[in-house]
Amino acid sequence: MKHMVNGYKNNSLFLFSAVFAAFLSIFIIQGCSSSSSSVADENPDGYFTGSASVKEADDLTDLAIADLQGMVSGNRFMFMSVDNVLLYDGTITNVTGSDFTGTVNVYKDGVLLAGTTTVAGTITSESSITGTLTGAGAGSGTFSLTYGLNNADSELTRVAKEWRGPINGASTEGFNTIISGAGALSRENTFNSTTPVLAGCVMDVASSISPISGVNIYSVNVVFNSCTDSNVNGTYTGFTTTLTAADIGLLMSYSNGSYSGSASMVFEP
């Protein structure tokens, strides 16, 4: 009888140990799985400055871009070079941890260069964005951007001014834009004949900007009428941001899938 009791105790102890070990294994596995799945995706929102190395139109000659500036909000990004009159209007299609992929439309002198270019790279929230463009010409190469110092929250009071500067590399300073305290966007006159693509365009009263919460980026909605080339008429969307802590510089870009406008402007007292 004593042997039976001891055997029962031993069997019970063995069974308990086995169950405990199995439970512990499941707990560890779940813990590891939970830990790995809790890694947050990086947030690319903000204003960035940096450089890029791409190709010229011949797809052979290197083009170094030293004045690349970027505006990112949500899944849309707009990178531009004022010196080279280039605009990269892209969509982030996936972010996993710090890695991202997306597609890009490349505009040169206000005109869409070619079909969609793909992009892949890394994001570090409020720090940097780097990537590789896989396409042709200006859509082929690499870029590196650093989070800008002026990334305070957007407010209409910061941009409600008159701004002046050439658009799309125009040869004259004929781009005067007025932003009202309510966000209405207007111009003093039509775009002159030296403005690539947008010559003769009149900015409709429906044009406006809106602050994007939590970042120094504003959404832009522009409607053009009466353009010299009637194909250019229509609605454009994009971003704008202030470039300095004193809010005396403004970067603005917008596109419609076929044409674009971009400018770096200064406050006109």
Contacts 24+ apart (CB under 8 A), 50-54: 50/143, 50/144, 50/145, 50/146, 51/143, 51/144, 52/79, 52/81, 52/141, 52/142, 52/143, 52/144, 53/141, 53/142, 53/143, 54/133, 54/137, 54/138, 54/139, 54/140, 54/141, 54/142, 54/143
- How far is Cα 117 from Cα 108, in angstroms, rounded to an integer? 14
Based on the fold, state whether residues 51 and 92 are members of the same structural domain.
Answer: yes
Listed in sequence order, the residues at least 6 apart from 95 whose beta carbon sits closer than 8 Å to its beta carbon are 41, 42, 44, 123
Return the pLDDT at 20: 47
Return the pLDDT at 83: 93
- How far is Cα 43 from Cα 124, in angstroms, rounded to an integer? 7
Into how many domains does the chain fold? 3
Return the pLDDT at 21: 52
Return the pLDDT at 173: 58
End-of-domain residue from the set 85, 114, 147: 147
- How far is Cα 94 from Cα 134, in angstroms, rounded to an integer? 16
What would the two tokens of residue 96 be? 């996993």
Span 167-194, pLDDT tens digits: 888 866 556 889 999 999 998 777 877 7
Domain extent at residue 124: 46-147
For the chain, the residue count is 269
- How far is Cα 100 from Cα 72, in angstroms, rounded to an integer? 13
Amino acid at residue number 251: L
List of the chain residues with pLDDT < 50: 2, 4-5, 8-9, 13-16, 19-20, 23-24, 26-29, 32-36
Based on the fold, state whether residues 163 and 251 are members of the same structural domain.
Answer: yes
What CATH number does residue 105 fall under? 2.40.160
Report field, pTM of the whole predicted structure over 0.85: no
Span 109-160, pLDDT tens digits: 999 997 789 999 999 999 999 999 999 999 999 999 999 888 888 999 999 9
Return the pLDDT at 29: 47
Is residue 187 within a helix (H) or strand (E), and if so which, with residue range? strand 185-187
Based on the fold, state whether residues 33 and 50 are members of the same structural domain.
Answer: no
Closest to 256 (Cα-Cα) out of 89, 139, 85: 89
Return the pLDDT at 15: 46
Based on the fold, state whether residues 73 and 173 are members of the same structural domain.
Answer: no
End-of-domain residue from the set 130, 147, 164: 147
Based on the fold, state whether residues 196 and 175 are members of the same structural domain.
Answer: yes
Based on the fold, state whether residues 129 and 220 are members of the same structural domain.
Answer: no
CA dihedral 13→18→19→20, nearest 10 degrees, is 80
- How far is Cα 188 from Cα 206, in angstroms, rounded to an integer? 15
Return the pLDDT at 247: 84
End-of-domain residue from the set 113, 147, 181: 147
Return the pLDDT at 11: 52
Read off the DSSP letter of residue 259: B
Based on the fold, state whether residues 164 and 67 are members of the same structural domain.
Answer: no
Based on the fold, state whether residues 138 and 222 are members of the same structural domain.
Answer: no
Based on the fold, state whether residues 203 and 248 are members of the same structural domain.
Answer: yes
Based on the fold, state whether residues 88 and 114 are members of the same structural domain.
Answer: yes
DSSP E strands in 97-156: the ranges are 99-108, 111-112, 117-124, 128-134, 141-147
Based on the fold, state whether residues 112 and 200 are members of the same structural domain.
Answer: no
- How far is Cα 193 from Cα 121, in angstroms, rounded to an integer? 39
Based on the fold, state whether residues 247 and 190 are members of the same structural domain.
Answer: yes
